[in-house]
Amino acid sequence: MTQFNIINIDETDSTNNEVKKLAAKGFPHGTVVRAERQTAGKGRSGKSWSSVDGGLFFSVLLRPPAEMAVNPGMITLSAGIAAAETARSFGVKAGVKWPNDVLAGGRKPYRKFCGILAETSAEDGVSGPVVLGIGVNVNIKKFPTDIAGIATSMYLETGGAFDSVLIMESILQAFTPLYYKALDGDSALIIARYKQLCLNIGEVVTLTNTVTGERITGLVLDVDGGGGLVMRLEYGSVYTAWSGEVTFNEKL
């Protein structure tokens, strides 16, 4: 079982950046940095993560064994499962939007309360350190106007306040066995758990290529064994996406 060494700080630009610095200094697997505030939190594709008071911001240093070529996507999906299942255990009707946003999934429109960002320099499998950042809107009671329609918090979903440290510890505890499944190459269990939580399956979505801006609309059929999003497009062809941003549509 992974033992986590948790370092608490008041403020940082990004907990991922803090952990990268510690990784460069040789800090061990399981090092965690938790900040009360982030001034430049990061999301996927270079997006910012709004760090409103009442949020939980932490990053974990993972050092997979050098001889294991782990699919980085399995680590990301595992973190999404851990965050969603933890939120459910505290009363939030949570689900995941492919690949790694955690939404309050009890009703439409779904609203995001947790984001995940895994960063590694490895190109073929995971052969170096992985920095896994997780941001959870825990006790936030009000959001800025520009994101109020798409963001929510555990507090707003349940009406109750939570201990952010307990939420973090619960996510880490839920993530640990899934991480070791990923190391063992047991993606089938991870994918099965993920599909139970995935809000995209059976829905029409638009996939946006974050590099080219190309947009594809289709019905989500499945999440395959490698974590790809399987879509049936308008004229019946099947397409599997490995990256991109998805938004929900009403119809093809």
Can you give the residue range of the structural domain that contains 225? 204-248
pLDDT in tens, 220-252: 999 999 999 999 998 899 999 999 999 998 666
CB atoms within 10 A of CB 142: 12
Give me the chain's average pLDDT, please. 90
Q: How confident is the model at residue 67 (pLDDT cuts 50, 70, 90)?
A: confident
pLDDT of residue 1: 46
**In a shared domain, residues 128 and 225:** no
pLDDT of residue 126: 52
Task: Report how far apart the first and last C-alpha atoms of the chain are (Å, whole number).
Answer: 46
Query: How many angstroms separate the Cα of 249 from the Cα of each of 149, 200, 203, 205?
Result: 17, 10, 8, 5
* Identity of residue 213: G
**In a shared domain, residues 161 and 209:** no
- How far is the C-alpha of 107 from the C-alpha of 119, rounded, in Å? 31
Q: How many domains does the chain have?
A: 2
Instruction: Report the b/e string of 189-226 with b at 16+ CB within 10 A.
Output: ebbebbeebbbbbeebbebbeeeeeeebebbbbbbeee
pLDDT in tens, 15-50: 999 999 999 999 999 999 999 888 865 554 445 545
**In a shared domain, residues 180 and 95:** yes
pLDDT of residue 73: 87
Sign of CA dihedral 230, 98, 90, 108: negative
pLDDT of residue 127: 62
**In a shared domain, residues 109 and 211:** no
**In a shared domain, residues 138 and 223:** no
pLDDT of residue 92: 97
pLDDT in tens, 81-112: 999 999 999 999 999 999 989 999 777 889 99
At 222, which CATH number? 2.30.30.100
- How far is the C-alpha of 132 from the C-alpha of 119, rounded, in Å? 6
Residue 213 in this model has a pLDDT that exceeds 50: yes
**In a shared domain, residues 143 and 186:** yes
- DSSP label of 110: P
Peptide bond into 99 cis (omega under 30): yes
**In a shared domain, residues 117 and 168:** yes
**In a shared domain, residues 193 and 210:** no
Domain boundary among 182, 197, 212: 197
Q: Return the closest-CA partner of residue 51 out of 14, 101, 86.
A: 14
**In a shared domain, residues 193 and 230:** no
pLDDT of residue 122: 59
**In a shared domain, residues 154 and 52:** yes
**In a shared domain, residues 74 and 193:** yes
At 141, which CATH number? 3.30.930.10
pTM, rounded to two decimals: 0.91
pLDDT in tens, 116-136: 999 986 555 556 899 999 999
Q: Is 12 exposed, middle or buried (0-12, 13-18, 19+ CB in 10 A)?
A: buried
pLDDT of residue 186: 87
pLDDT of residue 210: 85
Domain boundary among 158, 179, 197: 197
